Structure 1
Amino acid sequence: TKAARVCLAARGDPVLDFGLRRAQGLDGGVSASRAAYIGGCAGTSNVLAGKLFGIPVRGTHAHSWVMAFDDELQAFDGFAEAMPQNGILLVDTYDTREGLKHAVAAARRFREKGHRLLAVRLDSGDLDYWSRTARRTLDEAGLTDVKIVASGDLDEYRIDALKRAEAPIDLWGVGTRLATAYDEPALPGVYKLAAIETEQGAMRPCWKLSQQVEKRSPPGVVEVVRAYVDGRARADILYAPHVEARPAGPWYDFQGLPLSFSLEDEENSLKTAEPRLVPLFSRADDAQAGEHEATGLHTVPEAEAVVRARKRAQEELARLPEACLRIRDPQPFPVIVSHKTRQAWSALWNDSAEEPS
Structure 2
Amino acid sequence: MPKIKVLIVDDSAFMRKLINDFLSEHPSIDVIGTARNGEDALKKISALKPDVVTMDIEMPVMDGLEALQIIMKEHPVPVLMLSSTTQLGAENTMLAISYGAIDFITKPSGPISLDLIKVKEELIEKVISASKANLAEIMKKTTYAKSTIPSTKECSKIERKGQSLRPAQKSHANGKKIICIGTSTGGPRALQEVVTKLPKDLDAAVFVVQHMPAGFTKSLAARLDSLSECRVKEAEDGEIAEKGTIYIAPGGYHLLVKEAGARLKIELSTSIPPKSGHRPSVDIMFQSISTLSGYTKIAVIMTGMGADGSQGLIELKNSGDVTAIAESEATSIVYGMPKAAIATNLVDEVEDVDKIAETILQYV
- TM-score normalised by structure 1 residue count: 0.27
Larger Rg: 1
Highest relative contact order (Cα 8 Å, sep 6+), 1 or 2? 1
Calculate the TM-score normalised by the size of structure 2. 0.26
Name the structure where strand makes up a greater proportion of residues: 2
